[in-house]
Amino acid sequence: EVLLVQSGAEVKKPGESLKISCKTSGYNFITYWIAWVRQRPGKGLEWMGIIDPRDSDTRYSRSFEGHVTISADRSSRTAYLQWNSLKASDTATYYCARQAYSSSAALDPWGQGTQVIVSS
């Protein structure tokens, strides 16, 4: 069974750093890209970026480039999303998802989500 298990909820202050994780199992980690998606409270889904775990080639949505960093560790089969300086507007639930190898590039399966609250 393919599983993506994300790290637990976080409460941080503005300006703090944070790294959340997405641990995968049940498939060849380097074969599929991993995407990150943001969902602010009560809002829709926003594509943040994607990483190829084979060589760490990373692509970011323009809205997120420069504010977050996506990385992957092949030895632990884990993808990461990190911030150097959080803002209150980063309060959201963050999902990781595996991107299909086919041309559809659909996201399946998804992690359970990591809630991040940034508040002073």
Partner 1 sequence: DIQLTQSPSSLYASVGDRVTITCRASQPISKFLNWYQQRPGKAPNLLIYGATNLQDGVPSRFSGSGSGTEFTLTIYGLRPEDFGTYYCQQSYSPRTFGQGTKVEVK
Binding site for partner 1 (CB under 8 A): 35, 37, 44-47, 50, 59, 61-62, 95, 97, 100, 102-113
Choice between 35 and 86, CB closer to partner 1: 35
Which residues partner with 49 through β-bridges? 36, 60
Structure token digits, residue 68: 């977050």
Choice between 75 and 102, CB closer to partner 1: 102
Structure token digits, residue 73: 């560790």
Interatomic CA distance for residues 80 and 59, integer angstroms: 14
For the bound state, the minimum distance from the C-beta of residue 113 to partner 1, rounded and expressed in Å, comes to 5
Burial zone of 78 (CB within 10 Å; 0-12 exposed, 13-18 middle, 19+ buried): buried
Choice between 78 and 93, CB closer to partner 1: 93
For the bound state, the minimum distance from the C-beta of residue 53 to partner 1, rounded and expressed in Å, comes to 18
